[in-house]
Structure formats: structure tokens, C-alpha cells
Amino acid sequence: MIDTSAAPVDATVRKEVMEALNGWTEAMGHHDLDAYMSYYAGTLDAYYKRSNVSRAEVRADKARAFARFATLDIRMNDVQIKADESGGRVAVSYNKVYDLVGPEGRHFSGSARSGLWLEKSGNRWLITSEKDL
């Protein structure tokens, strides 16, 4: 769950996190699984309803989606970013709007309120948790 008591982030952190999120969604849109997975930490604290999930397990799950859908169009709006006390971890909540094109051109569209948690690793922000809220 997103901690609403956490502090809003400063402009630099917000810019860096938004750049990471934009790169993540662009990689999905370009169907570039390697680039997409580069935004994930080695182990995720939470991945939807599971805990302590390896990047390899996340990759296998995402690879199934990349294989199933010819088009993966995900948009994020109403993005809220909150930082923990250290400033090295952020909680992101957003509205996810998706349009996926599957077999025979069938569209699968919808929306959900989702959450990501990212941690600063060197000069990059990496996803450490992902789930629908």
C-alpha cells in the first residue's frame, strides 16, 4: 500500500523517477523485453500478490504478455510520488490505462489504480515492487 504519510518528493527526484517510468512504459510499447526488464531490481519485495519474487520470475511473466500481445500500450496518469525519509525509496501510485492487441487483432482495454515502489541504485531508479491497488 502507498504510504500517504510519506513526504512529497523534490523536483530532482520527481524528474528522475518520471524519466524511469517513461523509459519503462516506452520499452513496453516498443516490445523491447530486455530494455523493459532493465528497470527492475534483482528481487522484488512484492509482485502483485506474491512476495520475494526474482527478476527471472518477473521476466518469465512479462515474456508471456509480450508473446501474447502484438501491441502493449500502457499509459500512466494522475501519477503521485512520495519519498521515504531517506529519499532513496519512493512509492508511486498512478492510474494505468491499457490497450493490448492480441490474437486476431482483438483489443483488451481497461484501467486500474496501480502502485510501484522504486529504490535508487547508483544513478538509476529500479522497481522493487509492483501491484494493482
Give the CA angle between residues 34, 69, 33 to the nearest 5°. 0
- For residue 60, being part of any structural domain is answered with yes
Put the strands of the sheet holding 7-8 in their side by side order. 7-8, 71-83, 89-101, 107-121, 124-132, 43-47, 50-54
Domain that holds residue 51: 7-132
H-helix segments, 42-120: 55-68
Residue 128 has pLDDT above 50, yes or no: yes
Q: Which three cell numbers stand for residue 98?
A: 491499457
**Cell 523534490, located at residue:** 10
Residue range 117-129: mean pLDDT, rounded: 96
What pLDDT was estimated at residue 6? 57
pLDDT category of residue 4 using cuts at 50, 70 and 90 = very low
Specify the pTM: 0.90
User: Does 2 fall in a domain?
Assistant: no
Residue 1 pLDDT greater than 50, yes or no: no
Position 95 in a domain: yes
Strands (E), the chain: 7-8, 43-47, 50-54, 71-83, 89-101, 107-121, 124-132
DSSP strand pairing (7-8 vs 50-54): unpaired
Task: Identify whether 62 is part of a domain.
Answer: yes
Domain count within the chain? 1
Hey, what long-range contacts does 25-29 have (CB within 8 A, 24 or more apart)? 25/74, 25/75, 25/76, 28/72, 28/74, 29/72, 29/73, 29/74
Residue 1 domain-assigned?
Answer: no
- The answer to the question of residue 98 being in a domain is yes
Render pLDDT for 63-115 as a digit per residue (tens, 0 to 9). 999 999 999 999 999 999 999 887 789 999 999 999 999 988 899 999 999 99
CATH number of the domain that residue 21 is part of: 3.10.450.50
* Residue appearing with cell numbers 509482485: 47
pLDDT for the residue numbered 86: 79
pLDDT confidence tier of residue 21, bands split at 50, 70 and 90:
very high
CA angle 122, 9, 93 (to 5 degrees): 95
**What confidence tens digit (pLDDT) does each residue in 22-62 have?**
999 999 999 999 999 999 999 999 999 999 999 999 999 99
